[in-house]
Amino acid sequence: MNNTLLKVAVAEAKAAAKGLDTLEAKIKAAMDTTRNHWLVTDEEERFQAAIHGLAATVDEATVERMRIELQFLQGIQSGRVDLSGIDEDYEPIGLLKAWRDGQKENS
């Protein structure tokens, strides 16, 4: 993937989420912007663009929650889930669910 094209998608996701009041609204806006992005054709890269754009609009605590959730998803994919670093008070955001829900809405 061309880094410049990915940066364009990230910037558009950031612009869509910026200024919205709730995390849910920011997630939806960022993901809706990249889900069918015309410059980025790979679904995983579209998801990544939404995540990076979203991360630029939220506080550090939310970025940390996102990081933990994404590491967990990567662990599932690789078959090596490590729960030791996840606090028992951790509240998942539901990034993958939000992505999938948006796909259903647009079908």
**Is residue 66's pLDDT more than 80?**
yes
Please write down the HEC assignment for all residues of the chain.
CCHHHHHHHHHHHHHHHCCCCCHHHHHHHHHHHHCCCCCCCCHHHHHHHHHHHHHCCCCHHHHHHHHHHHHHHHHHHHCCCCCCCCCCCCCCCCHHHHHHHHHHHCC
What domain range includes position 76?
3-105
- Note the pLDDT tens digit of each residue in 1-29: 579 999 999 999 999 999 999 999 999 99
Lowest mean pLDDT among 41-45, 67-71, 73-77, 81-85: 81-85
To the question of pTM greater than 0.85 for the whole model, the response is yes
Query: Total structural domains in the chain?
Result: 1
